[in-house]
Homo-oligomer: A and B are copies of this chain.
């Protein structure tokens, strides 16, 4: 694909991820020649203010979408399942899909560009990973390359933004109600999120894990190309607005020290080492929000695995590295 003046389509441009997709393309000077924002009949014809100027929303059709060079899908898995293959077929557009629809499909690469970006050069349909997975993966991959990951235990602290703008709105409304002593409503989340913690994201599987938790296992294995990687997750929604944090323990194949891990992570792409406890510097949502890099810190020798183990904490913007940024980086890799 030529790297100049691409015709880019965005489906789901008004959602939390869609808005960030357009911002990120602009901020990274992605070679957008023409930008088409697609929506259903309900929104078609409306105008949207974007960094590329005021845009009128186009009614989605496969035919129109196929005219693009690249189409970003920031909509539901059901929509993606139906339309992504049609948009990509033959001489259609390169489709980069943010949903989970194709992530585990053997024919569809699942890409975190810092890890396996070369797969973007030949594919016509590419899956963007789950947000929690992408954020953990950029921190874990350099450690895996340097020390070999034998076991990985993840517990997440996921923001309302994981449920899009409606999730963020429900949190803010719930906090305002809670502060006044009023009832906190729950429509987006399964329970009130304000002043609460919900150990339940996505649907429960037969094995007792949620899909969100299993995505971390399934997707990390695929992205790393390690089909039997021992990785488990507890995924928890907490009352923050944006940026997911993760507490991670790893056992390594080779001996590792916190300083050796820091040296590796300091050079790693997509990672910002924030690990000066004596200066009260460690990864936190207030700092990681709206940043491209995933913050990694609190690195210490795990008490259980000793010199073959680390404990660490990461914080990454779910809407950026966990979604929009990674998708744009995939597009960049496809034309590199």
Contact of A157 among B217, B238, B249, B282 (CB under 8 A): B238
Complex interface residues of chain A between 129 and 167 (CB less than 8 A to chain B): 151, 153, 155, 157
Contact of A236 among B157, B199, B234 (CB under 8 A): B157
Is A197 among interface residues, defined by CB-CB distance under 8 A?
yes
Shortest A334–chain B CB gap in Å is 33
Q: Is the CB of B230 within 8 A of A236?
A: no
Complex interface residues of chain A between 271 and 305 (CB less than 8 A to chain B): 277-278, 280, 282-286, 297-304
Is A313 among interface residues, defined by CB-CB distance under 8 A?
yes
Q: Is the CB of A199 within 8 A of B240?
A: no
A179-B172, A199-B245, A208-B299 in contact; A304/B232 too (CB < 8 A)? yes
- For residue A300, which residues in chain B have a CB less than 8 angstroms away from its CB? 207-209
Which of A75-83, A118-126, A188-196 is near enough to bind chain B? A188-196
Q: Is the CB of B238 within 8 A of A278?
A: no
Shortest A275–chain B CB gap in Å is 9
Q: Is the CB of A192 within 8 A of B236?
A: no
* C-alpha gap A297/B179 in the complex (Å): 28
Q: Is the CB of B302 within 8 A of A197?
A: no
Instruction: Known A-B contacts: A155-B247, A157-B236. Give 10 more (CB < 8 A).
Output: A155-B234, A195-B240, A195-B286, A197-B284, A199-B245, A199-B247, A204-B278, A207-B301, A230-B303, A234-B311
